[in-house]
Each structure stands twice: as C-alpha cells, then as structure tokens.
Amino acid sequence: MREEIKRIPEEALAKQQEYMRLVRFHPDRPKTYYIVTYGCQMNAHDSEKLAGMLEEMGMEPAGERTQADIVLHNTCCIRDNAERKALGNVTWLKEIKKERPELMIGVCGCMIQQEEMAKKLLKQYPFIDLAFGTGNLYRMPEYLLEAIENKSRVIRVDQESSTVVEGLPVHRESDIKAYITVMYGCNNFCSYCIVPYVRGRERSRRADDIVREAEGLAAAGVKEIMLLGQNVNSYGLDSEESISFAKLLHRVTQTGIPRVRFMTSHPKDLSDELIDEMAHNPVIAPHLHLPVQSGSDRILHEMNRRYTREHYLSRVKALRSAMPNIGLTTDLIVAFPGETEEEFEETLSLVEEVRYDSAYTFIYSPRKGTRAAEMPGQIDPQVASERIERLIAAQERITGEILSDMAGQTVQVLVEGTSRRRATQLTGKSGRNINVNFNGDASDVGKIIPVRVTGAGSNTLRGEKEI
C-alpha cells in the first residue's frame, strides 16, 4: 500500500525562515557551532543542511568542539557501537558545560528517532538542551529559538517520517564533490535493520527538483555528485511520475556534471536498464556498491533480503559482462543469529568468487525493535570475532591483489587535495572509488586528470600524473 507523501508547504518553510531571522538577531544566540556526524552519507548530507541553517542564523563554524557555543551530534543507530560512541561523546561535553554553562548541547538524527530514546535523554542526560529526530530536522530553527528564549530544554521527536522537504539552506563540505538526496526512507524491512523505523517509508523527491539541484551544482563548478538513497533502485516506485532511477540518473548526467555516483543499490532491484545506462554513459563512475550481507541462502532468507546467492551472482555477472573494469564493493555481516560455521564459509566463498575491491564488514549488532533481535541462536562474541578476522583477512588479500594488478593502467582521478601522509603529494578518487596518491601541484586540485598507476599500498594506489 502506497503511503501518502507529505511535502512540506512553502508557508511552513517560510515560518522556519522567520525563526532563522529571529535567532540571527537574538542577543543570546550562539555565535559559533560544531557538528559531530556519525553514520552514513545520508547523515553527512543532513549535517550539511544543519550547518546551512545554523549559518543562516548568523553562526560560524568553530575549529573544535571545545570552542563552540552550540554542539550538535547528528547520530546513527544502525549498530550498537555507533549509538554508544555518540552518547559517550555527548557525556564528555558534560564536563565542558560545567566550565561553560552557556554551551548548548544538541542531539539529533536516527538515534533520537528510536522508540523510548527521548524519554531516556530526558531522564539520563539532563544537560542536553536540544534533541530532535530525522523527520523534523527542518524545524531545528524553531526548536533552537524556543530553547534560547525560554532557557529550557526542547526535546521534539515528531513522527513526520513521510515528509519531503525542499529548499533548506545547505553548507556543503566540499566545493569539488556534493551529495544530492534522491529519496528518503526504506520499505525493505531487513530483519536486522532499524532504518525503516527511524527514517520512515520510501519517499522519492520530484525528478525536476533533483535535476534543478544538480544544474546548480554544475554551474557552481562541482565536479562530482553522489546521488543518495537507502535503496536508489526503487526510486520513483512511490510516486506518480513514472520515472525509473536509470532515467533519473541519465537526466542528472546531462546537467554538465563531469562525474556521477550513487548509493545504495539493493540487489533485488538492480535492473538491466540501470546496468545498461551505467555501461553506456561515460559520466557515471564505473563503481557500484552492492551490499550482499551473506553468502548463505538460509541466512539471506532469515535476513529478509529477498534474493538468493544465485540471483546476486547473476547480477554481478551481468555487471561485469557489460563493464569488465567495474569496481564492486559491498557490505557483509557475520554472526547473524543462528549462523553456522558452514554458512559463514559460504560468505567467505562468495567473497572469493566475486572479488570485491573492498568491503565494509560488521559483526551482527542486535537492534531493539527488529525481528532479528528476538531470534534464537545469538552467536558467542568470541566466535563472531574469530569469523570477522578471517573475513577481513580474506578481503584484504583480495584487495591487495586487485590493486597490484592495476599497475600500468591509467585511471581518471578527481583530485581532492594534498595527501594526509605526504604534503608533497596530491590525492583523489579514481572512477572505481579507489584513493590514488601521486606527485602534482596545487593547480590540479578540483580537476579530473589521468594518472598512471605505478604501485599500490594496502588499500590505495600510487601513481604519476600523465603529461
């Protein structure tokens, strides 16, 4: 059943603009801000919107948390470790606030959207001044003004999960690369995942709004766009526009942007149409992040992934048939409830068969409210640690072999700046999304240039700029 999408009307956004103006001229407003971001690219882009609103209210970014007048923690709850890390860092600020009582501490994002979390914050973290969820991020100026004027805590977790908001100010972290969200939420309800509960159901932005944003970025000189969604392959299925993600992708590549990426793709929805568009459109980066999670059919069924190992491998075969040099990356979970040694070895064998450029590997983390958290057969932590070490070792070996085999190739690198390890070198991303370090000069920053690969590190390439 299609959920009705609530697009925030212009008058509602106008109210937030007025709140921004009132904060800007309020004598007690914070003068500087600092945002701590956890989790995925969606969260990173949300933080850019938060920064845009804060700057619209007259604030400037602080160099460090300890120097800021307001610190916002934009949280993630996909794994228990991310949640504990966020709350630990929030608690650390408690001591800073003892020395500077005027410091405002805010918590927002996915963690706050969880059931009972608002009550927990009210009870256990009384030093927090401001908290709001993902669905009402756009109302942050309103909440901040209330906190300033009433000198009181403001905790708001309105269940506005079906909203789509256009027109928020954005302070982008880079002049070279940019994110564009094409859709929000997720309908898949994988048994281990909390995202549909905290991000809501799938809502696609209008294609014209997305293309208009891309055109603005192209005009501003941005060289690479990443289109974001929990499952971009299902873009448009919830709207009346009848435009597939492949067609949207094609339209975005016509805006003058030199390179376009996207994530994340669900294997069950990866269409031949999208593969064909990637294969024949030189603007699209030759890289695909295709999370598999497990190599075992039984575990995939228990995860509610809705594809089999065979189906996944058939999609990989189709991708590599169309694009022999495509770089594939993935997500993998070990120690899912009930996973046997044999089922784990099926994941290892899948990794050996596919040969990913790299993989994000995780030990299963129970999330309250998900079906998997109630499943029997939770795996002993020592067994889980042993399995993930074996998986990481296998993937690191494969990554090293792939990178070594690239010696002598010429790759197109978007130069992002100087290397963190060597100030005399430049660094950037190849089309396959691999970091490349090479000698060059500052005039190359912001350009896509050919670099000949001369060697490899553990997860990076070394090269020489081609003349």
Above 50 in pLDDT, residue 126? yes
Tell me what pLDDT residue 441 has. Answer: 85
Tell me what pLDDT residue 370 has. Answer: 94
Greater confidence (1 vs 211) lies with 211
448 Cβ partners below 8 Å, 6+ apart? 223, 258, 259, 412, 413, 414, 415
SS3 state of residue 21: helix
Tell me what pLDDT residue 2 has. Answer: 46
Mean pLDDT of the chain: 94
Q: Which of 68-72, 86-90, 270-274 has the lowest mean pLDDT?
A: 86-90
Above 60 in pLDDT, residue 279? yes
CATH class of 174-285: alpha beta
410-465 domain in CATH 2.60.40.1180?
Answer: no
Q: Do domains 174-285 and 287-405 have the same CATH topology?
A: yes
Strand partners of residue 37: 74
Above 90 in pLDDT, residue 36? yes
Tell me what pLDDT residue 1 has. Answer: 37
Q: Are 337 and 379 in contact (CB under 8 A)?
A: yes
Percent of the chain exceeding pLDDT 90 equals 82
Q: Which CATH number fits domain 6-163: 3.40.50.2300, 3.40.50.12160, 3.40.718.10, 3.40.50.970?
A: 3.40.50.12160
Q: Measured between alpha carbons, how far is 55 from 57 in angstroms, rounded to an integer? A: 5
The answer to whether the predicted template modeling score (pTM) of the entire model surpasses 0.95 is no
Tell me what pLDDT residue 211 has. Answer: 98
Above 80 in pLDDT, residue 158? no
Residue spans of beta strands (DSSP E) within 110-172: 130-132, 154-156, 163-164
Q: Where are the chain's structural domains?
A: 6-163, 174-285, 287-405, 410-465
Q: Give 174-199 pLDDT, tens digit per residue.
A: 999 999 999 999 999 999 999 998 88
Tell me what pLDDT residue 5 has. Answer: 58
**pLDDT band for position 160 (cuts 50, 70, 90):** low
Tell me what pLDDT residue 162 has. Answer: 56
93 Cβ partners below 8 Å, 6+ apart? 65, 71, 103, 105, 127
**pLDDT band for position 305 (cuts 50, 70, 90):** very high
CATH class of 287-405: alpha beta
The distance of Cα 31 from the centroid of its chain, to the nearest Å, equals 29
In DSSP notation, 76-117 reads: --SSHHHHHHHHHHHHHHHHHHHH-TT-EEEEEEHHHHSTTH
